[in-house]
């Protein structure tokens, strides 16, 4: 669809540019490569970081900013109906567009001349919040059971597991048995979790025929 193609192009471009800038002068990753190879590797990492999980350099030697950014990319993931994990690019697109509409005080969320229906927006927020909370608690559990490892590395491993990407800073090999079990369960949840949330929120024919009174809640 248009959304998938647009978001994929944007994410690949942004990710490639970030990796190039962040790691271009790092002698342990891209610093020793010719300029052409730097660009090629940056583009490859920008694609693989959200999907397949292959890497041409060791993320254990990457700069902290790169680890944080790639974690964000892994959390977004690939396209809907693909084998990639994460919350999916369409979910991210709907949430960002919805926030933009709220800031602009628009009553409807539109894209490419079409209005995005309210249930789709609600499901997108639900997927985002639940997946974000799950990744946070996974990182917290790993930090609690494996205090000898940097939290930054644990967060990278947990998001990688949730996004079923497979990238690693090497921290997974240092986890104890409980930590490895947590990562395993996180991979399973990341594979089926977003799908189950989306399916659970699809309206069925037995929906209630009544609605409660509307109330305004002050936010912020």
pLDDT for 145 equals 95
H, E, C per residue of the chain: CHHHHHHHHHHHHHHHHHHHHHHCCCCCCCCCCCHHHHHHHHHHHHHHCCCCCCCCCCHHHCCHHHHHHHHHHHHHCCCCCCCCCCCCHHHHHHHHHHHHHHHCCCCCCEECCEECCHHHHHHHHHHHHHHHHHHHHHHHHHHHHCCCCCHHHHHHHHHHHHCCCCCCCCCHHHCCHHHHHHHHHHHHHHHHHHHHHHHHCCCCCCCCCCCCCCCCCCCC
Global pTM?
A: 0.85
Q: For 22-64, write each residue's pLDDT tens digit.
A: 999 999 999 999 999 999 999 999 999 888 888 999 999 999 9
**Does 171 have pLDDT greater than 50?**
yes
Q: Which two tokens stand for residue 26?
A: 């790092």
Q: With 90 as the cut, is the pLDDT of residue 1 above it?
A: no
Average pLDDT over residues 82-86: 81
Which tens digit of pLDDT belongs to each residue from 90-134?
999 999 999 999 999 888 899 888 899 988 898 899 889 989 999
Region 148-153 average pLDDT? 93
Residue 82 has a pLDDT of 78
- Residue ranges per domain, the chain? 2-200
- Residue 83: per-residue pLDDT: 76
Summarised one tens digit per residue, pLDDT across range 191-213 is 886 666 656 665 555 556 667 77
Structure confidence at residue 214 (pLDDT): 72
Would you say residue 190 has pLDDT above 60?
Answer: yes
Cα distance between residue 50 and residue 189, in whole Å: 17
Mean pLDDT within 131-154:
94
pLDDT, average across residues 169-190: 92
**Looking at the predicted structure, is the pLDDT value of residue 77 above 70?**
yes
| 81 or 93, which is more confident | 93
């Amino acid at each position: 669809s248009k959304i998938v193609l647009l978001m994929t192009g944007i994410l690949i471009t942004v990710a490639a540019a970030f990796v190039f800038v962040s790691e271009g002068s790092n002698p342990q990753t891209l610093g020793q490569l010719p300029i052409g190879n730097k660009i090629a590797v940056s583009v490859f990492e920008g694609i693989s970081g959200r999907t397949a999980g292959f890497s041409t350099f060791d993320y254990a030697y990457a700069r902290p900013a790169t680890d944080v950014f790639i974690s964000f990319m892994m959390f977004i993931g690939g396209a809907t109906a693909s084998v990639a994990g994460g919350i999916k690019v369409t979910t991210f697109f709907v949430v960002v567009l919805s926030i933009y509409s709220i800031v602009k005080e628009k009553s409807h969320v539109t894209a490419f001349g079409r209005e995005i229906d309210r249930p789709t927006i609600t499901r997108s927020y639900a997927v985002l919040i639940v997946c974000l909370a799950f990744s946070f608690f996974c990182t917290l559990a790993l930090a609690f059971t494996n205090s000898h490892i940097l939290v930054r590395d644990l967060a990278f491993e947990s998001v990688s597991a949730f996004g079923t990407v497979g990238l690693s800073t090497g921290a997974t090999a240092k986890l104890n048995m409980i930590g490895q079990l947590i990562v395993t369960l996180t991979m399973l949840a990341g594979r089926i979790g977003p799908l189950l949330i989306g399916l659970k929120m699809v309206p069925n024919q037995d929906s209630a025929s009544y609605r409660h009174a509307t109330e305004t809640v002050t936010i912020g």
